[in-house]
């Protein structure tokens, strides 16, 4: 049995304006900016806008992933970020990614779970 701790995974539901929950291009700019700022490595991404509004997005990182799913009609989004501790402890970066996302969306977290894997 090993003592390795894979990393921190934050799952959240947040509320914000309808406009930001309909604008997947805005979300991509936010995520790309945070990924660059935290020196993370993107390996793939999908941003899918829905015809009636809202979007879903998943960004794969060498360190793991970030995802968001929006319901603008309810002013809600679910969001999660997980970064592996494989080469170094990324706990602070997970918190920073979460906080910067909430701040960029000018959102209010309704729920937040921190799972230490």
Which value, in Å, is the radius of gyration of the alpha carbons in the chain? 14
Evaluate whether residue 64 is within a structural domain. yes
Residue 92 counted as domain residue? yes
**Partner residues linked to 56 by β-bridges:** 48, 69
Distance CA 30, CA 25 (A): 9
Q: What is the DSSP letter of 73?
A: G
71 within some domain: yes
- Domain limits for position 76: 7-116
Query: Which domain CATH number covers 16?
Result: 3.60.90.10
Q: What is the pLDDT along the chain (117 residues), one digit of tens a residue?
A: 578 889 999 999 999 999 999 999 999 999 999 999 999 999 999 999 999 999 999 999 999 999 999 999 999 999 999 999 988 999 999 999 999 999 999 999 999 999 999
């Amino acid at each position: 049995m090993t003592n390795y701790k894979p990393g921190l995974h934050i799952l959240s539901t947040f509320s914000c304006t309808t406009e930001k929950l309909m604008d997947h291009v805005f979300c991509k700019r936010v995520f790309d900016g945070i990924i660059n700022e935290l020196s993370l490595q993107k390996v793939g991404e999908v941003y899918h806008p829905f015809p009636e509004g809202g979007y879903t997005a998943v960004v794969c990182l060498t360190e793991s992933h970030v995802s968001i799913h929006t319901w603008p009609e309810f002013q809600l989004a679910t969001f999660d970020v997980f970064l592996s501790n494989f080469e170094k402890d990324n706990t602070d970066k997970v918190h920073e990614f979460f906080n910067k996302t909430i701040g960029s969306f000018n959102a209010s977290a309704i729920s937040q779970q921190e799972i230490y894997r």
